[in-house]
């Protein structure tokens, strides 16, 4: 069941980008912060009803919030008027996002009354945060701000307060997993001073990267979660379903994520290389440590010196500054980026790339490969007992 139904007129794409409607952009912004949305035509087949109109009605009925994307085109839409009518009859919490200076028709005014507007007529993108805040309020969700922790390395470049959000918890067929919020910011990626003289040439030169906020998996995807979603367990090292899943290719991971998204209604994906390294370094709490969360490798990772040549159940070692486990060791983690095609925000389709980046080292790797800046890659179609994944959102 999704939280927000998005009502819109397709003509509003004339006010937005060339790739689709403003409504689809709003949908992505909301889902990127963990708010599930119902939007046509994407979800029209979800309801298993006979006909498009019946699917729309069921979508409105099941959502908590009705988001109307209003523009000068909306007044002419009989479909939108019907959707508003249903939302009002079912006493849905209504949020209005106004794209231009036009006013609702008398009929729409009758239904909408004095509902509050998010006035985005000047620049619709500039009001995304206000919309998210209003939707969260309607859903009974809150965001807290606290003073930032000390950061002696100065690597986090954001100014002001550090946003603190609770983890998002999901349950798939009895298997629970958490996604940890990572506040966006600017960091130095690659051969920072903390890597000393161990960095390889592809870690040079150190580069400033700026990222939007995102969520990342508290732990590597376990065999239990993979089995709940896919119905099988391809791993070599079995015996405990809390071990990370392995023997999965990049393409296998895409199929897993596609099915997980269908089950949850979310937009999970593999982290980009930049997202992975930023999270491994502790995000805004980055202290430029050699490994993820410590300069003592044995305290945070399973690698060749302590693994016993096998994987181990997740979250047995200490977490890093963000509360992320096994960012180093246990299994390599596939990333979104194709080899040689840097894509910090994950905007590029990399499915046709021959090789993809992997990060974090594994149970059989040596200490130099366990550093947070170390980069590696693998053939997209190949799998192995050293390859797993971690989710991003």
Q: Could you state, in order of their start, the residue ranges of all structural domains in the chain?
A: 4-139, 162-388
Q: What is the pLDDT of residue 330?
A: 98
Fold observed for domain 4-139 = Rossmann fold (3.40.50)
Q: What is the pLDDT of residue 160?
A: 38
The reported pTM is: 0.62
Classify the C-alpha dihedral 53-56-60-62 as positive or negative: positive
Separation of alpha carbons 262 and 270, rounded Å = 16
Crossing angle of helices 22-32 and 128-139, rounded to 10°: 60
Split the chain (393 residues) into runs of 10 and give each run's mean pLDDT.
Answer: 86 52 84 88 69 85 90 84 87 87 76 72 75 85 42 37 73 95 92 90 90 94 98 97 98 97 94 96 91 94 97 96 96 93 74 93 96 96 97 96
Q: 234-254 burial by CB neighbour count: b if 16+ within 10 A, else e?
A: bbebeeebebbbbbbbbebbb
Q: What is the pLDDT of residue 40?
A: 86
Phi first, then psi: give them for residue 233, nearest 5 degrees.
-140, 100
Q: Which CATH class is domain 162-388?
A: alpha beta
Q: What is the pLDDT of residue 17?
A: 46
């Amino acid at each position: 069941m999704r939280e927000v139904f998005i009502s819109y007129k397709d003509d509003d794409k004339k006010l937005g980008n060339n790739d689709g409607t403003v409504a689809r952009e709003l949908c992505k912004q909301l889902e990127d912060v963990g708010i599930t949305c119902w939007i046509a035509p994407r979800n029209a087949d979800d309801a298993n009803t006979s006909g498009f109109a019946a699917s729309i009605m069921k979508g409105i009925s099941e959502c908590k919030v009705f988001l109307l994307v209003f523009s000068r085109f909306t007044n002419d839409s009989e479909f939108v008027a019907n959707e508003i009518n249903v939302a009002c009859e079912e006493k849905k919490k209504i949020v209005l996002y106004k794209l231009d200076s036009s006013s609702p028709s008398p009929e729409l005014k009758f239904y909408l009354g004095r509902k509050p507007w998010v006035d985005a007529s000047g620049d619709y993108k500039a009001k995304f945060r206000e919309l998210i805040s209003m939707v969260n309020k309607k859903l009974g969700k809150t965001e807290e701000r606290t003073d930032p922790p000390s950061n002696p390395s100065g690597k986090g470049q954001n100014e002001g307060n550090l946003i603190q959000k609770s983890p998002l918890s999901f349950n798939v067929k009895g298997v629970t997993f958490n996604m940890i919020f990572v506040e966006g910011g600017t960091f130095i990626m690659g051969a920072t001073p903390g890597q000393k003289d161990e960095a390889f040439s592809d870690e040079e030169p150190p580069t400033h990267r700026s990222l939007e906020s995102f969520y990342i998996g508290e732990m590597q995807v376990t065999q239990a979660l993979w089995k709940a979603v896919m119905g099988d367990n391809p791993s070599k090292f079995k015996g405990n379903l809390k071990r990370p899943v392995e023997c999965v290719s990049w393409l296998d991971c895409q199929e897993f994520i596609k099915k997980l998204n269908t089950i949850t209604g979310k937009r999970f994906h593999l982290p980009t290389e930049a997202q992975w390294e930023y999270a491994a370094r502790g995000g805004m709490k980055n202290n430029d440590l050699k490994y993820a969360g410590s300069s003592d490798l044995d305290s945070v990772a399973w690698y060749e010196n302590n693994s016993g040549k096998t994987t181990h159940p997740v979250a047995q070692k200490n977490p890093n500054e963000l509360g992320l486990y096994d960012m180093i060791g246990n299994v390599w983690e596939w990333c979104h980026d194709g080899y040689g095609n840097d894509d910090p925000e994950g905007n590029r389709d990399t499915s046709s790339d021959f090789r993809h980046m992997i990060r974090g080292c594994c149970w059989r790797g040596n200490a130099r490969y366990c550093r947070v800046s170390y980069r590696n890659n693998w053939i997209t179609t190949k799998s192995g007992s050293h390859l797993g994944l971690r989710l991003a959102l």
